[in-house]
């Protein structure tokens, strides 16, 4: 008894450190519970984070709308939003065109139909530490679900890994624990794109005999059910010998994650709540 | 009760600062660890126990925004809070220079622990001494600035040992 009362702080530190290690291992063993816990904490932080984003937006908005070219700013933002949608649509159409040529138009037209998307703003970004994640200002209330894909006009960003009612967290494809099915456009060689923890990704499970060269464009293949096929992943910057009979392929991502501000979420299902929260 | 409310207010301020930094100066997010500033503030102005609890809470909150797994930053911040809190209990950290050194030391310790924990977790360890020292300097200067403002504005923040 006296030992604990005399050493309260060291005992507390040891307890907390062990508890955090157990928490880390628990999330690895039971990912669903980890997602729920993450979503709950995200919900707790949501009011402060969203209010702060609102304050910044508010000041920015005052500047843009009342002090600096009021109408032009509004029109410009509307056009930028439209441009984002059109660029995404353009990517889909280009891939559909390639697919059509390859299969001589035998595929059904339904493959060209885009999934519904939702624009979201990045309110927090982590691209320096061991993880590559961002927090978005949209959550389950806007129709997002865990595992929804996230893209920009430049290409694939990542997937939703936790979602509260009004915020969600995105794991980038550059995160070391991420993975996405991908294909080399020129030769249709398939593989799995895995983050390396820096700002590049690696394509794995590609045979040493496969035809892949530096400069080849890599897009999502759609086989993982998260990202539809045809979205730009990046460009091959190095091809070398990997483990065993596999190639080691390094890809520079098309998306610059450091400058990410707005993204599109590929919705999987209908929204739980149609109410838009105005951000 | 008052202490708990202060802690919640400090964490809320850290969250708000993180989000505002992202909107106003995204590049600064790589240079300034707001949650570390909060933790060190408690380590130099409160007791060691308070520093540890604040370190754990600040780390956990940081995990929500900047980690794929909960407990990662919480682990490092708790350990660093204990060490820096120990310094705070033994040395006079009321002046600017010792506070600057405490902030820089905490940043480096946090970075080293993160690299160790990352490699233990099977994540690619990203130990970059150059950027870590740069971050230590920036955290030191920004921390002094923030502590100066907070110290003048809030009477409760004065040293209570």
What is the per-residue pLDDT for B81?
93
Over residues B17-40, the mean pLDDT reads 84
Give yes or no: residues A201 and A162 share one domain: yes
On whether residue B28 sits in a domain, the answer given is no
Contact (Cβ atoms closer than 8 angstroms) between residue A221 and residue A190:
yes
Number of domains composing chain B: 1
Helix (H, G, I), strand (E, B) or coil at A260: coil
- Which H helix or E strand runs over A117? strand A117-126
What is the per-residue pLDDT for B161?
41
Contact (Cβ atoms closer than 8 angstroms) between residue A146 and residue A160:
yes
Give yes or no: residues A21 and A143 share one domain: no
pLDDT along chain A (279 residues), means of 10: 74 92 85 84 86 78 67 81 85 73 40 65 84 90 90 88 91 90 92 86 90 92 86 92 82 89 78 42
CATH number at residue A105: 2.40.10.350
Distance CA A100, CA A213 (A): 24
The mean of the pLDDT values for chain B is 83
- B131: nearest CA partner in chain A: A128
Instruction: Single out the residue of A150, A141, A119 nearest to residue A266, CA to CA.
Output: A150
Distance CA A84, CA B48 (A): 51
On whether residue A278 sits in a domain, the answer given is no
Most confident range, picked from A43-52, B14-23, B71-80, B82-91: B71-80
What is the per-residue pLDDT for A1?
54
Instruction: Tell me the sheet residues that pair with A266.
Output: A117, A149
Give yes or no: residues A82 and A93 share one domain: yes
Cβ-based contacts of B61 with chain A (< 8 Å): 41, 45
Tell me the residue length of chain B: 161
Cβ-based contacts of A61 with chain B (< 8 Å): none
Domain with B54, as residue range(s), is 33-148
Q: In this complex, which of A41, A175, A259 lies closest to B68 when CB atoms are compared?
A: A175
Q: In this complex, which of A27, A45, A161 lies closest to B15 when CB atoms are compared?
A: A45
Q: In this complex, which of B15, B29, B123 lies closest to A125 when CB atoms are compared?
A: B29
On whether residue B14 sits in a domain, the answer given is no
pTM of the full predicted structure? 0.68
On whether residue B153 sits in a domain, the answer given is no
What is the per-residue pLDDT for A126?
85
Give yes or no: residues A9 and A137 share one domain: no
Q: Which residues of A145-179 are buried (b: 16+ CB within 10 A; e: fewer)?
A: ebebbbbbbbbbbbbbbbbbbbbbbbbbbbbbbbb
* Angle of CA points A42, A45, A51, to nearest 5°: 125
On whether residue B116 sits in a domain, the answer given is yes
- Record: contact B16-A52, CB cut-off 8 A: yes
Number of domains composing chain A: 2
Q: In this complex, which of A17, A27, A41 lies closest to B64 when CB atoms are compared?
A: A41
- Record: contact A34-B121, CB cut-off 8 A: no
Give yes or no: residues A199 and A237 share one domain: yes
Cβ-based contacts of A37 with chain B (< 8 Å): 70
On whether residue B80 sits in a domain, the answer given is yes
Residues 6 or more apart whose Cβ sits within 8 Å of residue A218: A182, A183, A184, A185, A193, A203, A232, A233, A234, A235, A236, A251
Instruction: Tell me the sheet residues that pair with A153.
Output: none
Q: In this complex, which of A8, A123, A177 lies closest to B19 when CB atoms are compared?
A: A123
Residue range B63-79, pLDDT digits in tens: 988 888 888 999 999 99
- Record: contact A129-B125, CB cut-off 8 A: no
- Record: contact A24-B69, CB cut-off 8 A: yes
- B66: nearest CA partner in chain A: A126
Distance CA B39, CA A272 (A): 38
Contact (Cβ atoms closer than 8 angstroms) between residue A166 and residue A50:
yes
What is the per-residue pLDDT for A68?
64
Give yes or no: residues A12 and A56 share one domain: no
On whether residue A166 sits in a domain, the answer given is yes
Q: In this complex, which of B17, B18, B124 lies closest to A176 when CB atoms are compared?
A: B124
Q: How far is CA A33 from CA A37, A56, A272, B70, B90, in A?
A: 6, 33, 21, 11, 42
On whether residue B118 sits in a domain, the answer given is yes
- Record: contact A41-B79, CB cut-off 8 A: no
Give yes or no: residues A66 and A200 share one domain: yes
Contact (Cβ atoms closer than 8 angstroms) between residue A85 and residue A78:
no
Give yes or no: residues A33 and A162 share one domain: no
Residue range B102-161, pLDDT digits in tens: 899 999 999 999 888 888 877 776 667 888 888 899 999 999 888 888 776 544 444 444
On whether residue A279 sits in a domain, the answer given is no
Instruction: Single out the residue of B36, B24, B30 nearest to residue B135, CA to CA.
Output: B30
Cβ-based contacts of A52 with chain B (< 8 Å): 15-17, 19-20
Cβ-based contacts of A196 with chain B (< 8 Å): 124
Judge residue A100's burial from the number of C-beta atoms within 10 Å of its C-beta, 0-12 exposed, 13-18 middle, 19 or more buried: middle
Residue range B42-62, pLDDT digits in tens: 888 877 888 899 999 999 999
On whether residue B160 sits in a domain, the answer given is no
What is the per-residue pLDDT for A87?
85
Domain with A27, as residue range(s), is 2-40
Window 100-159 of B: residues touching A by CB (8 A cutoff) are: 114-115, 118, 121, 123-126, 131
Give yes or no: residues A27 and A108 share one domain: no
Tell me the residue length of chain A: 279
Residue A159, token pair as written in the block: 């997937």
What is the per-residue pLDDT for B117?
87
- Record: contact A49-B66, CB cut-off 8 A: no
Give yes or no: residues A63 and A31 share one domain: no
On whether residue B12 sits in a domain, the answer given is no
Q: In this complex, which of B20, B53, B64 lies closest to A45 when CB atoms are compared?
A: B64
- Which H helix or E strand runs over A172? strand A168-172
On whether residue A199 sits in a domain, the answer given is yes
Residue A61, token pair as written in the block: 């908005």
Give yes or no: residues A93 and A21 share one domain: no
What is the per-residue pLDDT for A89?
84
What is the per-residue pLDDT for A114?
60
Alpha carbon B79 to chain centroid distance? Answer: 11
**Per-residue three-class SS string for chain B:** CHHHHHHHHHHHHHHHHHHHHHHHCHHHHHCCCHHHHHHHHHHHHCCHHHHHHHHHHHHHHHHHHHCCCCCHHHHHHHHHHHHHHHHHHHCCCCCHHHHHHHHHHHHHHHHHHHHHHHHHCCCCCCCCHHHHHHHHHHHHHHHHHHHHHHHHHCHHHCCCC
Q: What is the ipTM of this complex?
A: 0.86
Helix (H, G, I), strand (E, B) or coil at A192: strand
Residue range A25-53, pLDDT digits in tens: 888 788 788 888 888 888 888 888 888 88
DSSP summary character for residue A121? E
Residue A80, token pair as written in the block: 């930028």
- Record: contact B22-A128, CB cut-off 8 A: no
Residues 6 or more apart whose Cβ sits within 8 Å of residue A183: A189, A190, A191, A218, A219, A220, A221, A229
What percent of chain B lies above the pLDDT cut of 70?
91
The alpha carbon of residue B28 is apart from the nearest alpha carbon of chain A, in Å, by 11
Q: Would you say residue B95 has pLDDT above 80?
A: no
Residue appearing with tokens 């280009």: A94
Instruction: Single out the residue of A137, A176, A171 nearest to residue A157, CA to CA.
Output: A171
- Record: contact A9-B48, CB cut-off 8 A: yes
Give yes or no: residues A70 and A14 share one domain: no
């Amino acid at each position: 008894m006296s030992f604990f009362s005399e050493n309260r702080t060291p005992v507390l530190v040891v307890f907390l450190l062990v508890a955090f290690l157990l928490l880390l291992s628990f999330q690895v063993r039971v990912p669903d519970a980890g997602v729920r816990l993450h979503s709950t904490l995200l919900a707790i932080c949501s009011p402060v984070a969203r209010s702060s984003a609102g304050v910044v937006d508010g000041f920015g908005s005052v500047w843009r709308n009342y002090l600096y070219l009021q109408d032009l700013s509004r029109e410009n933002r509307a056009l930028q939003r439209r441009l984002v949608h059109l660029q995404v649509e353009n990517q889909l159409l280009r891939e559909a065109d390639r697919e059509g040529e390859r299969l001589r138009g035998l595929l059904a037209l339904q493959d060209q139909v885009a999934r519904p998307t939702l624009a979201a703003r990045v309110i927090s970004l982590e691209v320096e530490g061991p993880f590559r994640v961002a927090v978005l200002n949209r959550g389950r209330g806007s129709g997002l679900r865990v595992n929804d894909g996230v893209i920009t006009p430049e290409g694939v960003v990542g997937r939703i890994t936790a979602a509260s009612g009004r915020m969600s967290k995105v794991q980038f494809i550059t995160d070391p624990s991420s993975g996405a099915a991908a294909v080399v456009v020129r030769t249709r060689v398939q593989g799995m794109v895995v983050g390396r923890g820096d700002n590049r990704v690696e394509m794995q499970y590609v045979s040493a005999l496969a035809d892949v060269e530096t400069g080849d464009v890599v897009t999502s293949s759609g086989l993982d059910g998260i990202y539809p096929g045809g979205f730009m992943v990046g460009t091959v910057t190095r091809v070398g010998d990997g483990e065993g009979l596999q190639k080691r392929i390094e890809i520079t991502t098309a998306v610059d994650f450091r400058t990410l501000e707005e993204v599109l979420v590929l919705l999987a299902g209908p929204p739980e709540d149609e109410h838009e929260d105005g951000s | 009760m008052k202490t708990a409310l202060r802690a919640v207010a400090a964490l809320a301020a850290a969250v708000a600062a993180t989000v505002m930094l992202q909107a106003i100066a995204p590049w600064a997010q790589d240079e300034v660890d707001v949650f570390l500033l909060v933790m060190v503030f408690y380590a130099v102005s409160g007791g060691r126990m308070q520093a540890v609890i604040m370190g754990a809470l600040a780390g956990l909150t940081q995990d929500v925004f900047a980690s794929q797994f909960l407990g990662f930053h919480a682990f490092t911040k708790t350990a660093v809070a204990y060490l820096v809190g120990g310094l705070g209990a033994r040395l006079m950290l009321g002046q600017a220079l010792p506070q600057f050194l405490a902030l820089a030391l905490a940043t480096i310790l946090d970075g080293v622990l993160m690299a160790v924990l990352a490699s233990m977790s099977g994540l690619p360890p990203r130990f970059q001494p150059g950027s870590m020292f740069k971050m230590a300097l920036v955290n030191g200067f920004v921390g002094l600035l923030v502590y100066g403002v907070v110290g003048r504005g809030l009477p409760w923040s004065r040293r209570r040992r």
